[in-house]
Structure 1
């Protein structure tokens, strides 16, 4: 697994074999993050040529709302103190003229937009070019404006996720909203952060994150330092300007360009933090905000990593219970506790004797652990994990390696997307590092192991990279209240492995206008993932502005 720290938003639908790099979003395990993965069948069905989004231009005018002076509007409780220039300085960005063009056979359009690299000094810092895509409302019915979507990460491509959302969200919603996505700054097609070569990334993901002695600790520490140094070498200009606050301001520019008076938005996983940050900055511009698989902005990096470790433990217990009911469970047939012991035995075996995979790469303990965690995001991946564990039991590491590769967005040719690079860059800027040295990690290990006997050690050691980051964090943990915002819908899943349910409860409580919708189920996030109850409730909010009754729980 990688070595970042914060969250893991992941997938939606069946776990596919690794797609070409950049094809879908997922979040990292090492650092406790992830995204939603798009079902492979959906991607194939769209036939999109989204590489067309890499270019754009000006052309047809679009109506725009003026930027708020200072771009604050209730941002005093957001997780960053970064400011913005005056309305006059930002007005040219809000009044851009975009030239949309077809970028696929399924009715998708693409373009690009300009945003300032530095919102505090837009004239001095230069511009960034961000990729944007949309699929217009399918009708019938009155058009309700644009609905922006973001799958999480940080580091997940919103444009890739749009392929799923536009075709996989309930038809009642896609009929009346233009479905829109912008790859956030530093991500995929939008000035991507770069750090390592693909071969270097292969080495990095295989580094032992459960070190047994000082030599292994030194090797892990060196790997994180090299990772951070690589990001500085290749992306120094960007690293100070990829915070969540920056991306939230970018979304408001896009809202203005699209001519929407308010922002309508569905954010998954880390996308909930992005949405909540937007609400804190621009509360009066909040339209319909769905924050699904919620993060708690008041939680610091250390507490966040520990809580996620506990989330993966809960998810593994649910997987183990299900596995024990199958005819040939590779984790035994007796109890969840015994299944956990068998998993630990596998990890220990991989630590000393990595398994062959039929390639030049072997399945190390780190890669095997990542493979297991990858399948925790969606219960539809549990059969795949059972098969991978059975393969490992027979000496074949390839199935678990494929799961790990899908997590890191590594394709069959060995090419990685920039998911993990953007993931670290955003996380390390958003929050001060909790663990700055190996001594800090060793002190934290008992609490992590208590929260998660099977994954705690890995997640603790995976939190180190931000301690070596070349730029200082600009944000901090803080409550977001968004006074004056319209009703905001927060969705939480009780056994969510990546964003613990308690975070959704907390975020809904923090927001002055927050409303909680609960899914009593497994997997990461809930909307458009198979629950009729959840979909009906979210649809009523998006289409009619109706929030669910207090205490609503869907199963």
Structure 2
């Protein structure tokens, strides 16, 4: 079972990767996947998108309100946090910016100081996406040690876990055993009974989140997280924010620029999202993005001697049909995995495992091996590993709070994609047209916010950030989770957007092997020289 997600990972199973995950209640366009949508629901979404295109995020006043002065003037108490070279601290922010005297939220912050030599350029804040991905985990496991040494030499590398995420008052909705059951729930219901079970699962998940954090759940929006980043900028002593955000992190960074255009410094938005799209359109376009990525995988798979889905004479469409037939078989009879907790590989877990591997072509071999084991040897262990990696399930059966925070932010940021199972059924032809393999499951997964205990506070909107210095927006042409069209759209909305294109596979581009991309971004971060708008790399 998926939720809208854009999370940059450092590992898929045993394969190291720089990918970012954005799944199911989010996200080429629907049109590129096979023509214009024709359902009444899709038409309504198109009208909503048109209306959103007229709404722009308004900048906040330049002067900091007096009631926020204490937050902006706080001093962080840095301490050793158990990871060599890194320091940690706790920062306070108002729970409710509209009522800043009525309570705080405590946010975990980490940094690795500039290593030198050379001029220190300030702080570089990083965010891996999600929503729900731990920025501190990303900093300590990847960015703080894996970013180019020239960047790490001149910047203090900094991360803050957004409110409700990881170390920052994490929202918890289900325990490990309950999450195991939730991830196995059938998201391609065959009848009313199975549809009812899916609805019950969404309701139980939502009720768990509401019971755990009834106050915080109303204040984990992207706008609030962006305002928290401005407090951190000030506390760190930086006049402007320097930032690299991946996937959902691009929405967070663009939101910051929209609210504080005069404080936006060198911003890199890699694997961009389009903030002007309603949830249903986002979901549909992401579904098409996964199909684009799968077609690329299929073409590669049949060239390999170990492809279990066909040979050199098999078309990508037939590869998709073969995989869908395998999913149907699992729906009827799950296969063993050897899991200590007795979990079998269900259709939903297998689908999640395949989707996880779409984020990085480096995982394709692992996916072929896992599919071979499941399809020919009745052993689903490999696909279960991929699925567990996606959900951040640990060997002891516990889960990170990634999926809980993911839904909490998504369901607050936008009105639900669907209000009822009937609306999903009406939209199924559009989703299945966008992706014959994943469309049905992703459509039903988009129903999760319908039962959320908190009303959404956000709406689709443009982000222009008028007056900001050049902002680099990066798009990958065959990105599964944030389709390339989104990068084009965001770069076009931002008054100072510079589109940088990577012609290739996988999710995000920086630090994934393209010297052209890395040089352009490093030059921007270190010298302030943005690439020419429209620059393309491969």
TM-score of the pair, normalised by structure 1 = 0.88
Q: 2:114 aligns with which of 110, 133, 137?
A: 137
Q: Offset at 1:84?
A: 12
Q: Is structure 2 residue 158 aligned with structure 1 residue 180? A: yes
Residue 551 of structure 1 and its aligned partner are, at CA, apart by 2.3
Does residue 503 of structure 1 match 2:486? yes
Shift of 1:335: 2.1
Matched, 1:533 2:516: yes
Structure 1 match to 2:181: 203
- Report the equivalent of 1:345: 325
Match of 1:291 among 269, 274, 277: 269
2:354 is the alignment partner of 1:372: yes
CA contact (8 A) 2:72 2:231 kept: yes
Task: After TM superposition, give the deviation of residue 449 of structure 1 in Å.
Answer: 0.6
In 1: Cα distance, 2:15 partner to 2:169 partner: 24
- CA 1:104 to 1:25, structure 2 compared with 1: closer, same or farther past 3 Å? farther
How far apart are residue 167 of structure 1 and its match?
1.1
Measured after TM superposition, the shift of residue 327 of structure 1 is 1.3
Deviates more, 1:422-431 or 1:538-547: 538-547
Partner of 2:285, secondary structure, is helix
Q: CA deviation at 1:322?
A: 1.1
> 1:364 and 1:85 mapped to 2: Cα distance?
55
Q: Secondary structure at the match of 1:113?
A: strand
* CA–CA separation in structure 2 for the residues paired with 1:341 and 1:232: 40
1:482 to 439, 442, 465: 465
**What residue in structure 2 maps to residue 88 of structure 1?**
66
- In structure 2, the partner of 1:117 is 95
Q: Please say if residues 29 and 370 of structure 1, whose CA atoms lie closer than 8 Å, have aligned partners that are also in contact.
A: no
Q: Which residue of 2 aligns with 1:29?
A: 23
Any unmatched runs of 5+ in structure 1?
Answer: 34-75
What secondary structure sits across from 1:191 in the alignment? coil
Specify every segment of 5 or more residues in structure 2 that has no aligned partner in the other structure, as ranges: 28-54
C-alpha distance after superposition, 1:476-529 (max 9, x if no partner)? 000000011111000000000000000000100100000000000100000011
Aligned to 2:468, the other structure's residue is in SS state coil
Match of 1:411 among 394, 400, 415: 394
The 3 A distance-change label for structure 1 pair 25 and 384 is closer
In the alignment, is the contact (CA less than 8 A) between 2:114 and 2:156 conserved in 1?
Answer: yes
User: Following the alignment from structure 2 to structure 1, what is the Cα–Cα distance between the partners of residues 163 and 364?
Assistant: 33
For residue 271 of structure 1, what is the aligned residue in structure 2? 249
Deviation at 1:7, TM superposition (A): 3.7
Q: What secondary structure, in the 3-state scheme, does the structure 2 residue paired with 1:530 have?
A: coil
Residue 8 of structure 1 corresponds to which residue in structure 2? Answer: 6
After TM superposition, list the pairs within 5 Å mapping 1:152-231 onto structure 2. 152-163=129-140, 164-231=142-209
Corresponding residue SS for 2:358: helix
Q: Deviations over 1:228-250 (max 9, x none)?
A: 11111111111110000010000
Asked if 2 retains the 8 angstrom alpha-carbon contact of 1:18 and 1:411, the reply is no
Is 300-309 or 319-328 further displaced after alignment?
Answer: 319-328
- 1:460 is matched with 443
Say which is worse superposed, 288-297 or 223-232, in terms of deviation: 223-232
Cα separation, 2, equivalents of 1:213 and 1:538: 50
Following superposition, the deviation at residue 436 of structure 1 comes to: 0.8
Deviations 1:430-484 (A, max 9, x none): 0011201001101111111111110011110001111111111100000000011
Matched-pair contact (CA < 8 Å) for 2:244–2:267? yes
Any idea what SS the aligned residue of 2:474 has? strand
Indicate conservation of the 8 Å contact 2:60/2:259, yes or no: no
Matched, 1:397 2:368: no
Post-superposition offset of 1:545 = 1.2
Q: Is the 8 A contact 1:78 1:479 kept in 2?
A: yes
Residue number in structure 2 paired with 1:41: none
User: Which residue of 291, 297, 302 corresponds with 1:319?
Assistant: 297
**Structure 2: how far apart are the matches of 1:94 and 1:8?**
29
- Farther off after superposition, 485-494 or 334-343: 334-343
Extract structure 1 runs of 4+ deviating beyond 3 A.
6-10, 16-19, 24-30, 81-86
- For residue 305 of structure 1, the aligned residue among 261, 283, 290 is 283
For the residue of structure 2 that corresponds to 1:250, the secondary structure is helix
Tell me how far 1:77 sits from its aligned partner: 2.2
Aligned to 1:363: 345
Residue number in structure 2 paired with 1:335: 315
- Over the aligned positions, Cα root-mean-square deviation in angstroms equals 1.9
* Cα displacement string for residues 91-134 of structure 1 (whole angstroms, at most 9, x for unaligned residues): 1011111111222453111111111101110112x111110000
User: Which of 378, 387, 396 matches 2:369?
Assistant: 387
Distance 1:441 1:98 in 2: 48
Aligned match of 2:123: 146
- Worse-matched range after superposition: 200-209 or 336-345: 336-345
Between stretches 86-95 and 242-251, larger displacement belongs to 86-95
**Secondary structure of 1:440 counterpart:** helix
Residues 229 and 84 (structure 1 numbering): CA distance in 2 closer, same or farther, change over 3 Å?
farther
Match of 1:37 in 2: none
DSSP 3-state at the match of 2:12: coil
TM-score (norm 2): 0.91
